Structure 1
Amino acid sequence: MRPSSSPQVLLGVALVSVVATGCSGWVGYGNTYYKRRETSVSHEATYSFGSPGSAWRPLSQKGTQVAWYSEGLDAVIVLDSQCEMHGDSSLEQFTDHLRIDFREWEVLSQERVTLVQRDAVRTVVLASIDGVVKTQMEIYVVKKDGCLFDLEYIAPPRSFESGRGDFAKVVNGFTFPIRGG
């Protein structure tokens, strides 16, 4: 089954990507995303991350930098960076910007944490579009060295808890800046 057959996953991937850059910077689906040097995408960062494990397959979807799909959970993990052109909102406001296409957005928890030696916000939300598709998300938002990052785990509520440990592996391996990037 291809990930694109799931409306939950397509919806999540389409809605959470801030920068439409494609996956070409994720060379060999390794543990590093390399910013592209073309002038049209100069607002990207080079960063690395942990692996969510063998149950997750790389998802090459236009508009994402790094994404994985788990068929068993019907879930995605999406990582994105945007440098210089993101404005100067608070981390909470940047998190709230991710709700733009959702009709319902219920914050279940939100806390300050540390990620890449910076303040970050970790938020868990329950969201839906037109009250139909329910999804649960865990989102980390952090700014460092002029770049804004969002790391997101998106799953149906029924399987949300089952994939959080895999998402934690990705987050725990998140590193920026990368030398030579």
Structure 2
Amino acid sequence: IYRGSEVAFRVPPAPASWKPLSVSDAAVAYRDEANGATIALNGRCRNEDDVPLVSLTNHLFLHFTEREVLKQEVVPFDGREAMHTVLSAKLDGVPKVFDVWVLKKNGCVYDMLLIADPARYAAIEPAFTRMVRGFSTLPADDD
């Protein structure tokens, strides 16, 4: 369970090979060094209810080059709809696969990202999907 000043959520434990990572722009993050992959989860509440999911998703990819959307779908998620996008792009010139889920709920936006080496994405995607599917929002002020 993660509790921040604005958001709270439950997410299943990461696989044993994923080590907790401290980063300034994520509430929860993990790194799998063996597979060269990173998972990051974040939430923010800024009254973005009127911003479409596709715009919120595209905002995450502004600094990437050679972007190619491999999959994009709106799916039921935690009692709402989420945008699920799989994208290949270059980050600082390095090819990566980005598997991103964006959820809007109760005035807040939640981002869940997997950043992976393209050759290893298929092997680590199932563990990420299990974490995402186990995600649920919680009241931020619960004790």
**Same-fold call, TM > 0.5?**
yes
Maintained 8 Å contact 2:14/2:131 = yes
Q: Is the 8 A contact 1:51 1:169 kept in 2?
A: no
Matched, 1:140 2:101: yes
Higher helix share: 1
Following superposition, the deviation at residue 94 of structure 1 comes to: 0.7
Contact map agreement 1:75 1:154 (CA 8 A) in 2: yes
Partner of 1:78: 40
How do residues 96-175 of structure 1 correspond to structure 2 at under 5 angstroms?
A: 96-129=58-91, 132-175=93-136
Match of 2:21 among 32, 43, 59: 59
Q: Deviations over 1:2-24 (max 9, x none)?
A: xxxxxxxxxxxxxxxxxxxxxxx
> In 1, distance between residues paired with 2:48 and 2:20?
26
Percent of residue pairs identical:
32
Unaligned runs of 5+ in 1: 1-31, 37-43
Aligned-CA RMSD value: 1.6
Cα distance between partner residues in 2 of 1:74 and 1:90 = 31
> Which one-letter code corresponds to 2:2 in the other structure?
Y
Aligned partners of 2:46 and 2:22: how far apart in 1? 25
Stretches of 4+ aligned residues off by more than 4 angstroms: none
User: What is the TM-score normalised by the length of structure 2?
Assistant: 0.92
User: What is the CA deviation profile of residues 1-57 of structure 1, one whole-angstrom value per residue up to 9, with x for unaligned ones?
Assistant: xxxxxxxxxxxxxxxxxxxxxxxxxxxxxxx11113xxxxxxx30111112210100
Equivalent in the alignment of 1:16: none
CA shift at 1:64, angstroms?
1.9
Structure 1 residue 144 displacement after superposition? 0.4
One-letter amino acid of the structure 2 residue matched with residue 145 of structure 1: N
